Amino acid sequence: MDMQRKRNDKGELQCKTCLHWFALDLFGTTTHKRGIHVYSYPSANCKKCLYQSTKKWVQKNRDKVNAWNRNHRYQLREEFINEYGGQCSCCEERRREFLTLEHIHGRINKTQVHLELERLKNSGWPTADIQILCFNCNSAKGVYGSCPHTWEVDEHRAPLNTATRQKIYETTSAL
């Protein structure tokens, strides 16, 4: 077992791939579980060799990696939708294909959605500034500042008049 690997007089370990001697902090950590016991010890390869072998494996098994990533992102999205009620907060749309993540007070940074979902999951799915909106409600909120579904019940927000709608249409159609 690697826990019993010999060290040189400086306390360094030898990489099994490149055969160079390195300090312990230049090796990754391998975790092994047997029953209820978890063993952690330095990996057989230095971090550089481990990176290179992982990179080769990923290139060789690109289809497996892509399938795993798709599955992981799908499961993460399903967990997010279930945690936040499974429907649009505005129009109560339930079709999962239409539901999106919406930051109530705007996004702080422009990260990819799956990274944002990972952050939320690791934070225990906080509800302070996150909600689910369908794509239409989320888009309308981004363009108009609020969703048209709320205009009927919100007496302080009047629907856009025809001139304003025409101006928005001209601006967006020029793009």
**Residue 157: half-sphere exposure toward Cβ, Cα within 13 Å:** 12
Helices (H) and strands (E) in the chain, counts: 6, 6
Predicted confidence at residue 133, as pLDDT, reads 92
Mean pLDDT per 10-residue interval, the chain, length 175 residues: 70 89 86 82 88 93 95 94 92 92 76 84 86 90 80 55 62 62
Residues in Cβ contact with 17 at an 8 Å cutoff, skipping those fewer than 6 apart: 44, 45, 46, 49, 53
Q: What is the DSSP string of 77-107?
A: HHHHHHHTTSS-TTT----GGGEEEEETT--
Q: Which residues contact 7 (CB under 8 A, 6 or more apart)?
A: 13
Residues 8 and 119: their CA atoms lie apart, in Å, by 42
> Domains in the chain, ordered, with CATH?
2-59 (3.30.60), 62-173 (no CATH)
Residue found under tokens 């799908």: 74
Residue count of the chain, please give it: 175
Token pair of 53 as six digits: 């072998």
Q: What would the two tokens of residue 127 be? A: 């509800």
- Asked whether the beta carbons of 27 and 13 are under 8 A apart, the reply is yes
Burial class (CB in 10 A: 0-12, 13-18, 19+), 100: middle
